[in-house]
Amino acid sequence: MHSPFYRGRFAPSPTGPLHFGSLVAATCSYLDARASRGKWFVRIEDIDRSRCRPEYETAILRALERYGFAWDGEIMRQSLRRAVYREAFERLRDENRVYPCGCSRKEMADSAIAPDGAGIYPGTCASGLPDGKAVRGWRLKTGGKALCFTDLVQGDMRQDVARDVGDFIVFRADEGVTYQLAVVVDDAAQGISRIVRGADLLDSTPRQIALQQCLGISSPEYAHFPVVLDEAGNKLSKQNKARALDAGNPVRDLVDAFAFLGLAWADAIYASLDELWQNAIARWSLQLVPKVRTRPWVGA
Ligand code: GLU
């Protein structure tokens, strides 16, 4: 049974134009929301001022329109929500869920390596800020049991955040909120019931669940589709200079994205984008989505 309260989202960071990997993210979340007769929201994750550009935001939104995506409600912009994030951070601080940390990136460099490639925090400032250190950020206290969740594509997941990631930064003294806290606050504010996104964020999910638990927010469902790889076997991303889609042939690109997600298409010739979407929505199921794609994707 589909919930009448399904609310999904696509949350691009405007650090480059839409590429095939982000088209897959938009497509997977959109198909799943519309096939469940749910709502689908767009959120611009533009808190990182050094990497985000308004022209990329415009390019992403225009591309979504050309591909025939129709979002519900107003677009949410993280750059306009700093006061809300500060409030969430202050709540964590007032409830003693975080502690100040004065470690520099350099001081963290010889820590062990977490699954996402970042250093596992060794807990240097956990029992108090060392003398003479300025506060650089606040870390969530992650002690406790391992977190388990069932991903709708990847299956049963388990992570001991304290051991595998360590206490992580939720708020920086200079730049303010981090991705992990902002995403949790925003998914709750938008009432998102199911998060559909790439498996590169699978490893962040237990951190987000930990934050939800601290903030008394109920966790949404999660579905992580496989990462789109480029020819060198790296995640296709704006940082890796993935080719922008020109949307000159939106049907071909969408059929490619459908195929990547396991929705095979025999005939790519459709009278309209509308017809293509209707057909795809009618045939959609998350069960079609493979857990991994080990080869570079032709559409990439
Ligand atoms: N803004 C993130 C990105 O562009 C996605 C965050 C999310 O879906 O939670 O990769």
Mean pLDDT of 114-135: 87
Q: Decide: 183 in ligand 1 pocket, CB within 6 A.
A: yes
Q: Residue 21: which of 243, 278, 264, 247 has the closest Cα?
A: 243
Say yes or no: CB of residue 45 within 6 Å of ligand 1: yes
The pairing of beta strand 155-159 with beta strand 147-151: antiparallel
The per-residue DSSP string of 9-66 comes to EE----SS--BHHHHHHHHHHHHHHHHTT-EEEEEE----TTT--HHHHHHHHHHHHH
Does the pLDDT value for residue 300 go beyond 80?
A: no
Ligand 1 mean position, distance from CA 252 (Å) = 25
What is the per-residue pLDDT for 283?
95
Q: Tell me what pLDDT residue 145 has.
A: 86
Closest ligand 1 atom, residue 15 Cα: 4
CA atoms 182, 186, 192, 197: torsion sign: negative
What pLDDT digit, counting tens, does each position of 171-214 carry? Answer: 999 999 999 999 999 999 999 999 999 999 999 999 999 999 99
Tell me how far apart the alpha carbons of residues 136 and 132 are, in angstroms, rounded to a whole number: 12
Architecture of domain 7-81+224-296: 3-Layer(aba) Sandwich (3.40)
Strand 76-77 and strand 39-44: the pairing is: parallel
Distance 198 CA to ligand 1 centre (A): 8
Which range among 57-66, 118-127, 232-241 shows the weakest confidence by mean pLDDT? 232-241
Higher pLDDT: 252 or 23? It is 23
> When comparing pLDDT for 237 and 64, which is higher?
64
Query: Which pLDDT score, from 0 to 100, does residue 249 have?
Result: 83
Structure confidence by residue, pLDDT tens digits, 78-120: 999 999 999 999 999 999 999 999 998 777 766 677 777 777 8
pLDDT for res 1: 44
Whether 140 lines ligand 1, by a CB cut-off of 6 Å, is no
Q: Contact, 30 vs 276, CB < 8 A?
A: no
Quick one: which atom of ligand 1 is closest to the CA of 237?
A: 10
Query: Is 15 touching ligand 1 by the criterion CB < 6 Å?
Result: no
298 has pLDDT over 80: no
pLDDT given for residue 299 in this prediction: 54
Selection from 165, 239, 243 nearest residue 202 by Cα: 165
Contacts of residue 11, defined as CB under 8 A and 6 or more positions apart, other chains included, come to 42, 43, 44, 45, 183, 186, 197
Q: Give the chain's mean pLDDT.
A: 91
Q: What is the DSSP letter of 108?
A: H
User: 197: Cβ below 6 Å to ligand 1?
Assistant: yes
Q: Of all atoms in ligand 1, which is nearest to the CA of residue 9? A: 8
Q: CB neighbours of 226 closer than 8 A, spacing ≥ 6?
A: 198, 199, 289, 290, 291, 292, 293
Q: For 8-65, how does the pLDDT look when each residue is reduced to its tens digit (9 = 90+)?
A: 999 999 999 999 999 999 999 999 999 999 999 999 999 998 999 999 999 999 999 9
Predicted pLDDT of residue 24: 96
Pick the atom of ligand 1 nearest to 200's CA: 10
294 confidence band (pLDDT: 50, 70, 90): confident
Distance between CA atoms of residues 26 and 10, nearest Å: 6
Give the atom of ligand 1 at the shortest distance from the alpha carbon of 204.
9
For a pLDDT cut of 90, what percent of the chain falls above it? 75
Inter-residue contact 3 to 237 (CB < 8 Å): no
